[in-house]
Amino acid sequence: MELTRVVALAGGVGGAKMAVGLQAAVPPGALTVIVNTGDDFEHWGLTICPDLDTVLYNLAGVHNPETGWGRDQESFRLLEAMGKLGGEDWFRLGDQDLALHLRRSEWLQQGARLSEITDRLRRALGVPSLVLPMSDEPVRTLVHTDEGDLPFQHYFVRLRCEPMVMDLSFVGAESARVPEAVAKALHNADLIVFCPSNPYLSIDPILSVPGMRRLLQEAPAPKVAVSPIVGGTAIKGPAAKMMRELGQMVSPLTVMDHFDELLDGFILDSADAEIAGAVQVPTLVTETLMTDLASKTKLAQEILTFAGQLAETRNTFSRPGRRPT
Ligand code: FO1
């Protein structure tokens, strides 16, 4: 079955890498990435959207390959000068990166929606895929820790994820709306991929937008998730540490249970092959480590094939309680 319209839910570096692989595996324009904006914050009087920017830069091939975020060939002259003037310099904004933040903040002040602004930026960066914020209204992740309630970047960058996480809230979610383009993409998708992003910090904020979960449940396309937990740890970021702190097993099964009723398929790394039998939905076991374009593309192609088989079997019999596709 030709899977032409692919939608990916993404946040963080893992999500951006998966998006790059998917973009390489489908025709230009066939991929839509719905991106977490829970990490956004106001900084230096600018509105910073790290996950949108990380996805944009990775899809444009201009990202910093070491960190995964920010731009390649970057300088930090402004950051240095800012520090000398007593400004905040814990969040490393590069000189080229700042041009994007200035453009976005200027357009926001002119009243443009984040969706529209993001589309202007992806066109300017020559990105063929659609990149859509999860909402045009601000939804900000607040991390409730043993050191108090921390705005996301203060937890993630300033305090290097060291505080112990007790809970998360997504401030503003109740008045956020699913953008029209996001609803349309989910409804028309042939496949929906939950990228290997932090389930709590990258995917849950997307699901917190009222109506998003229902759109996913009603979307006819098969929905598959790539486990961000491999061999008992996370490839990058605090997902494993947070699972422990939230009293969960550090296992792909915790991710599966977290998204349970939403998923039709699950992708496990071969390091976790032995738990495939315990996963309630069809499972693909393969190499999920994405170290270069080839491995990102290979994983994406395997996911498309896997999803094609799911779609076939779903067409022969629809799961109880689901609308026949
Ligand atoms: N992450 C860091 O660990 N340190 C930084 O100084 C930092 C700066 C930064 C600047 C722009 C940007 O788009 C992302 C940046 N990130 C930085 C990454 C960011 O905090 C995270 O990637 C996401 O918010 C969550 O994955």
pLDDT of 178 higher than 70: yes
Q: Which atom of ligand 1 is nearest to the CA of 53?
A: 13
Residue linked to tokens 């920017």: 53
DSSP letters, 188-226, are H-SEEEE-SS-IIIIIHHHHTSTTHHHHHHH--S-EEEE
Rounded CA-CA distance 183/149 in Å is: 32
Which residue reads 């071969």 in tokens? 270
Distance CA 124, CA 194 (A): 26
What is the reported pLDDT for 260?
78
Residues 6 or more apart in contact with residue 294 via CB below 8 angstroms: none
Does the domain at 6-39+51-60+114-318 match CATH 3.40.50.10680? Answer given as yes
Q: How many angstroms does the Cα of residue 216 sit away from the middle of ligand 1? A: 28
Judged by average pLDDT, the poorest of 21-25, 27-31, 200-204, 309-313 is: 309-313
Q: Which residues contact 61 (CB under 8 A, 6 or more apart)?
A: none
Residues, the chain: 325
Reply yes or no on whether the pLDDT at 323 is more than 50.
no
Instruction: Tell whether the model's pLDDT for residue 320 goes beyond 80.
Output: no
Say whether 98 sits in a helix, a strand or coil: helix
Instruction: Check pocket membership of 74 for ligand 1, CB cut-off 6 A.
Output: no
pLDDT of residue 269: 97
Structure confidence by residue, pLDDT tens digits, 39-82:
999 999 999 999 999 999 999 999 999 999 999 999 999 999 99
- The pLDDT mean for the chain works out to 95
- Alpha carbon distance 188, 48 (integer Å): 30
User: pLDDT category, 113, cuts 50, 70, 90?
Assistant: very high
In sequence order, what are the beta bridge partners of 42? 47
**Nearest atom, ligand 1, residue 92 CA:** 6
Give yes or no for residue 156 CB within 6 A of ligand 1. yes
pLDDT of residue 4: 83
Closest CA to 26 of 312, 313, 296: 296
Tens of pLDDT, residues 234-277: 988 999 999 999 999 999 999 999 997 999 999 999 999 999 99
Rounded Cα gap, residues 265 and 3, in angstroms: 15
Read off the pLDDT band of 3 (50, 70, 90). Answer: low
| pTM for this prediction | 0.96
Cα 157 to ligand 1 centroid, rounded to whole Å = 7
Residue with the smallest CA separation from ligand 1 atom 1 is 157
Q: What is the pLDDT of residue 324?
A: 44
43 CA → ligand 1 middle, Å: 13
